[in-house]
Structure 1
Amino acid sequence: MRLIAAYIIGLVFGTGIALSGMANPAKVLNFFDIAGSWDPSLIFVMGGALVTTFIGYRLVFGRPAPVLAEAFQVPISRTVDARLLGGSAVFGIGWGIAGFCPGGALPALGTGRWEVFAFIAAVVGGIFLARFLQSRGASARRATA
């Protein structure tokens, strides 16, 4: 049942990305081009997502537990540290350069464009690099302790 729910959620998300034009990197990049061919439609996509999330969180967290799990899994850390800021910066830079964010690029894989596959490969490579650097840092901290 969880797999079916995940599939349906992914299908709804991918359909929303495709219908909103967010699978088209040119549309996203035009949002960032304020002095040129600015396209403000991303504001409406983000606003719609914000309203949906605001309502959804109130409905979901009003329940004692999730429908398909034993407990809610929410982040417990509220610390703004170098890891969070660095990850946010890399995300923003990548989005501004490529015109894709990871969530929007996954549905765009269906277009078959090589740029999308290159972006996803870079994301996966970045995940492995971040994990490698994180494990090296943890090893160094243990060695000095």
Structure 2
Amino acid sequence: MRLIASYISGLIFGIGISISGMANPAKVLNFFDIAGTWDPSLIFVMGGALIVTFIGYRFVLRRPAPTFETSFKLPTRSDLDLPLIGGSALFGVGWGIAGFCPGGALPALGTGRSEVIIFTVALLAGIFAAKALQRFAASRAAAA
């Protein structure tokens, strides 16, 4: 049942991303081009997502536990550190350059377009590089 719920959630997310245009890098890049061909329509997509999240979290977190887990997996840290700020900045710059974010690129993989595949490969390479860098930094800290 957990697998079916995950599939349905992913399907709804992917359809929403596709319908909203978030899987189209030209639409996303036009959103960032304020001085040129600005397309403000993604403000409504993001605003809608914020409203749903705001209401949804309050509704869901009233429950003692999720339906298919024993507890909620929520962040425990609230501080701002260099990895968080740097990662956020890198995410934003990458989104602005490529026109894709992971949430928009993964549903767009179904199109088979080369730029989506290249972005996804680069995304995965970045994830593995970040993990390797974290392991390296942890081993250096442990040795010191």
TM-score, length-scaled by structure 1? 0.98
Which residue pairs with 1:128 in the alignment?
A: 128
Deviation at 1:8, TM superposition (A): 0.3
What residue identity is the alignment partner of 2:68? L
Which residue pairs with 1:86 in the alignment?
A: 86
Which residue pairs with 1:56 in the alignment?
A: 56
The answer to whether residue 24 in structure 2 is matched with residue 18 in structure 1 is: no
Separation in structure 2 between the aligned mates of residue 21 and residue 80 of structure 1, nearest angstrom = 31
Deviation at 1:90, TM superposition (A): 1.0
Separation in structure 1 between the aligned mates of residue 104 and residue 55 of structure 2, nearest angstrom = 22
The answer to whether residue 33 in structure 2 is matched with residue 33 in structure 1 is: yes
What secondary structure sits across from 1:69 in the alignment?
A: coil
Which residue pairs with 2:99 in the alignment?
A: 99
What residue identity is the alignment partner of 2:30? N
What secondary structure sits across from 2:31 in the alignment?
A: helix
Q: Structure 1 stretches (4+) deviating beyond 2 angstroms? A: none
Separation in structure 1 between the aligned mates of residue 34 and residue 90 of structure 2, nearest angstrom = 21
TM-score, length-scaled by structure 2? 0.99
What residue identity is the alignment partner of 1:45? V
Task: Give a deviation string over 1:4-53, Cα, whole Å, max 9, x none.
Answer: 11100000000000001111000000000000000000100000000110
Over the aligned positions, Cα root-mean-square deviation in angstroms equals: 0.5
Deviation at 1:122, TM superposition (A): 0.5
**Between the two proteins, what is the percent identity of the paired residues?**
67
Deviation at 1:70, TM superposition (A): 0.4
The answer to whether residue 116 in structure 2 is matched with residue 116 in structure 1 is: yes
Separation in structure 2 between the aligned mates of residue 3 and residue 86 of structure 1, nearest angstrom = 34
